[in-house]
Chains A and B, each alone.
Chain A
Amino acid sequence: MLTFFGLLVATLAFGLLSTVVSAWYAGAEGASNARLITRNAISLVFPLPISHADRIRQVEGVSSLSWANWFGGIYKEPKNFFPQFAIQPESYLNAYPEYLLTETERTNFLKDRRAVVIGRKIANSYGLKVGDNLTLKGTIYPGDWEFQVAGIYEGRQTSTDTAQLFFHWEYLNEEAKRRNLPRAQNTTGVFIVQIAEPARAAEISLQVDSLFRNSAYETLTETEKAFQLGFVAMTEAIVVAIQIVSYVVILIIMAVMANTMAMTARERTGEYATLKALGFSPQFVAGLITAESLMLAVFGGLAGALITFPVARAFGDAMGTIFPVFEVARQTTWMQLILALVVGLVAAAIPAWRVSRIRIVEGLRAI
């Protein structure tokens, strides 16, 4: 029973840790091959002049262009973290059809420069609804920034990030001029370049970057996926550590289970010897131990895999908007079950081999 519980906990721990890793990669997983991101070649923290937009549009193969600027405001408390972007509304919403808004919400957002759209996860986490006023305290752009919620977007898929806030870049730009913030005037963080043929992504990226070579604002263009993976790479050590821990958990339970099976086999040596005396083959006796180990592992693994779903949901809710997407992937569930099977097989291997080779006369003395 304790071993079963141990397996359940180990499988659950593996599932949760794997889901954390998946959540880390969620942005990259949801990225489109038809979108390129152009940023300042020196660093993402340096802005690009908005005038770059006209020149990028001229590149052959570019179908449309939008831009987004990281805002980095605080909603009530610093702990209430969620990404906020100043965007070019129409083109941005066209570039990201996975963010679903009703027609009314879309219209209301587009016509009001103080309007914001927020993801469903933010709305649920902070109890916000359409029409609510919302104030962000700027960290990069000082002062209080007043907004009104015009819409709450849903994700087209469960893997779509619904923990973001979008508002008008025009509003940020106007306010930057009014508040005398020269660094923020007529600039943006990234351009989102839509291309008609994803296969030409590398070629178009080079063309875009070549436009601004040797200028004061050189660019670096890459696919949205590579851009997102760049963020993951910054914290790769943590991700690798989590992955290692998840496999160490499995190794530990493998050792525990192997010990349990070894003890079980030792306690039942007399029974196995009796079975062999009655005419059962060594393979049959080894099969009994393997079957018992596998049954324990499969039931423990299955219970652990099943319980991962509600626990992950509760964990995701508790994490709020830190993990925009926290879904147990099908691949994770398969890995849990496969690893449980492997644990069962490995744990049974040595005891089964020993029992199959034990001499009947010696085994009968163990009674």
Chain B
Amino acid sequence: MCGIVGYAGRRDALPILLDGLKRLEYRGYDSAGVAIVGSGLQVVKDKGFIANLEAQLPPLKGSTGFAHTRWATHGAPSKVNAHPHVDCTGKIALAHNGIIENYASLREKLQAQGHTFVSQTDTESLVHLIESYYDGDLEKATRKALGDIRGSYAVLAVHADEPGKVIGARNESPLVIGLGPDENFLASDVPALLRYTDRVAYVMDREMVVITPKGVSIKDSEGRVVNREPQRITWSLEDAEKGGFEHFMLKEIHEAPQAIHETLLGRLANLEVDGFLSEGVTSVKLVACGTSYHAALVGKYIIEEIARIPASAELASEYRYSQGATERPLVLLISQSGETADTLGAAREAHRRGCKTLAICNVIGSSLSREVDKTIYTRAGIEIGVAATKTFIAELVVLYLIALKLGQDRGTLGYDELDRLKDQLRSLPRAAQYVLNKSDEIRALAQKYGAEAKDMFYIGRHANYPVAMEGALKIKEISYIHAEAYAAGELKHGPLALLTSSTPVIAVVAQDPTYEKMRSNVGEVSARGSPVLAIGTEGDKELPKFVDDVIEIPSLPWIFSPVPVSVALQLFAYEAARIRNCPIDKPRNLAKSVTVE
């Protein structure tokens, strides 16, 4: 769960590496470091954000090197635990993204051979292992060392005596090659490269790559040369800039209507959903982590309501280790980055169980898209804010499309019904915009409910229960307010005991089949003296009598209400975090895509 950038070329490596790191900082950020081969090997690293590192850097000269940002998995964030790690001779430097599972036994063995370890990291075992195999060829030594380790990695290595060469290797952690004239790059993600080249090639599992200023060579685990066609990246760096908004998160919330447009584009009129086949699908299992898991939970309601076939949702980290039932559902895997380790593992497990797999993903060419039978892309554009916003909305939109397609192909939807649902889907950009137009009102409510709160409760029912869970996740992630989400019917089975006049309750009260029940649940809460902020429907005259404040969503069929409600809860969380001066785009301890298990 880290970012890495490598460079071999003719220019000074340092500014290129630092710039690349900044583009990746969303991936992880408790420490950062850089290794440059010039006159010898030079390594500088520190804990904290990249700016900390940059402030203390001497002008390192050299046109080969790599840089790394780290998010602690093994060993607390500190200067010694930061990457790069160096061997005993001080000639080999290594950065690693992932986890080495057998590092403890390797460490013991290497220490017994006389290697001196300075950090607590799993990565350091690997650099000493390479040292023990080194006989003048870094590529060969790295290949041997990787043969001894178990785990996931994207690795970059350099040697002081082999200038102009960066070695890369990948297993279950992303690594991409950038191709330029007289210079080549390696990085864990495309944004690090975009300023320098738009031609990239992806490294696959158990492959090694050597970049020099002149060329790139990719070899498989047997050492055979692999030919790979480069791809051209069509999105550009400006997608990654803030464009007048205070934070990426706010920019991305405001891009919801656009994300919906792009996701629907060319797919709605004839329900042409990227070659997706609904033939033979009798049930659907939705599998994901984090925010995408909440989309999966909403997806269960969407698919059951529209397509009328059974659907269930499961966490990827649980699905992988559960015993599969004998039935074979269509397995729908959802991941924004397509690099989420648990979701990738779940895709493999689904195949092992003989299921067809379909991914919903925002990043073209991601690892997940290569693991599954088919991928439907969300086209939300690049998302930089750690808290997922527009990509969650776009995932919901794809779920609606899949449900319509299933309903059409299985004949559960009549022509009129399908036509009406399509029009309602067409109206979703407006539904999102309606809520965005209430930004000022939501800011004032965030001040009222979020400025002082230590705890919050989010309640909802039916399709809006997972939406409440997602709202609670957003407020936890970026405002650091402790929040719990409950299915409103469950309140009386315990959580009511926690409600006081200082625990605001955010209640989603849509015009869905549970409306009456939901209103009486809200009544139970009000009776405890908790202030209640409801997300309700425009024109609902009754609701204001039961709650303190209402954020209105436009009136639309309830199955579509999760879209505007989510936008409202995202804006609410954003504004609360802003009032509390939280580092919104880079919340503590969190990384954008979680590539460890």
Partners in one complex: no
Q: Which residues of B come within 8 Å of A, CB atoms? A: none
